[in-house]
Amino acid sequence: MIIKNYKTFYGQHCETTATGCLLKNLDIDLSEPMLFGLGEGLSYIWWNAKNMPRPFIGGRSKPDSITQNICWNLDLNLEVKETVSAVKAWENICQCIDIGEPVGLKLDCYYLEYFTNKIHFPAHYAAIYGYDENSAFLTDTIQQGSSVSTSLKSLSKARNAKGPMSSNNLSYSIRKKGSQTTLNDAVRKALKNNSNSYLNPPIQNISYKGIQKTAKEIIKWFNTAADRCNDFILTASLMEKAGTGGALFRNLYRDFLIEAASLLNDNNLLIASEKCNFAARKWNLVSSYFENAGNTDSISPLTEASKLLSEIALDETDMMKLINSLYN
């Protein structure tokens, strides 16, 4: 069963790509930067738990929240299903596919057969639009090939994986309500909410406070890591290619601000977009310093990265204060 006339959304980030597919098939065709902005996606997290092989650096809001915020801001109905039963989890998919509705999935990308970089990450997203007796047909990011397939067995393992940020076979579908919030109003709400949340992080490892914390912690990390060469090279790769770090998300938010400036006729948002672009370039440098530290087994590049991270925290705070002054 494959959905007829299915429309593929092409994106760089997994959650906006999966959710973009569901929206596009509702004839809601928005750019990926607009989806990221409406999802109030710009944030940051430094996560270093004892059961993790290495610290995690994330440049966005927490998993699932982007889709939730998109639907909230556009006044769409979001139905999320979770279950510990693999049989029920598959039934949840089939019920939607069989009536022509694509489904968003949360998975551990390690088990997906088209992934060549085998790293456990159970907060990856893809949209499923069809299946046969052996395979599931998915839309993933451009980097992963966009239109891809994996065996039903591998899909089941990916959906049922455990670990940090995982969910119990989570799937979701989106439907229109009787009315829909105008895009202008949705953008204003998202700008207000994202700036408020960024400027008021609940804990020290989130948002700009998390970036400041990272500036200090990476030096400790270098001195305590069991395999620091691999850790820093891998982290750099994930930041640049998988989008876990800051540059991709800052580029998306920059482009969202440019779109919002035109939509709302507000040139102040262009000033904010320039600040965001400046931060994005610094994030690129941070990841290159991480890679250099791994390749040379030297702490010197991390000293430079630490300085940049402190600057980025100030730059992004300045940007969000400007937005907050306009839309709060």
For 227-267, the pLDDT digits (tens) are 989 999 989 988 877 667 768 999 999 999 999 999 999 99
**CA 46 distance to own-chain centroid:** 15
Interatomic CA distance for residues 45 and 209, integer angstroms: 9
Q: For 227, phi and psi rounded to 5 degrees? A: -140, 70
Q: What is the pLDDT of residue 70?
A: 98
Write out pLDDT tens, residues 268-301.
Answer: 999 999 999 999 999 999 999 999 999 999 999 9
pTM for the full predicted model: 0.94
Contacts of 99 (CB under 8 A, 6+ apart): none
Nearest to 81 by CA among 73, 71, 91: 91
Interatomic CA distance for residues 86 and 139, integer angstroms: 21
Q: What is the mean pLDDT of residues 121-125?
A: 92
Q: What is the mean pLDDT of residues 74-86?
A: 96
**Got the DSSP string for 229-277?**
HHHHHHHHHIIIII--SSHHHHHHHHHHHHHHHHHHT-THHHHHHHHHH
Nearest to 199 by CA among 327, 81, 57: 327
Nearest to 236 by CA among 15, 107, 55: 55
Write out pLDDT tens, residues 184-224.
Answer: 999 999 999 999 999 999 999 999 999 999 999 999 999 98
Q: How far is CA 196 from CA 11, 39, 83, 189, 321, in A?
A: 27, 14, 33, 11, 9
Q: What is the mean pLDDT of residues 155-180?
A: 92
Assign 17 a pLDDT band (cuts: 50, 70, 90). very high
Nearest to 36 by CA among 147, 191, 155: 191
Interatomic CA distance for residues 162 and 157, integer angstroms: 10
Contacts of 305 (CB under 8 A, 6+ apart): 215, 218, 285, 286, 289, 290, 293
> Token pair of 109, please?
């990308």
| Least confident range of 126-135, 158-167, 202-211 | 158-167
In order of their start, the domains of the chain are 14-30+77-175 (3.90.70.10), 183-327 (no CATH)
Interatomic CA distance for residues 182 and 75, integer angstroms: 9
Q: For 60, phi and psi rounded to 5 degrees? A: -135, 180
Interatomic CA distance for residues 12 and 251, integer angstroms: 11
Other CB atoms within a 10 A radius of the CB of residue 312 amount to 25
Place of tokens 């750019």: 31
C-beta of residue 17 within 8 angstroms of C-beta of residue 140: yes
C-beta of residue 274 within 8 angstroms of C-beta of residue 52: no
Q: To the nearest 10°, report the CA torsion of 81, 85, 87, 93.
A: 10
Assign 59 a pLDDT band (cuts: 50, 70, 90). very high
Interatomic CA distance for residues 243 and 236, integer angstroms: 10
Contacts of 151 (CB under 8 A, 6+ apart): 113, 134, 135, 136
Interatomic CA distance for residues 55 and 261, integer angstroms: 36
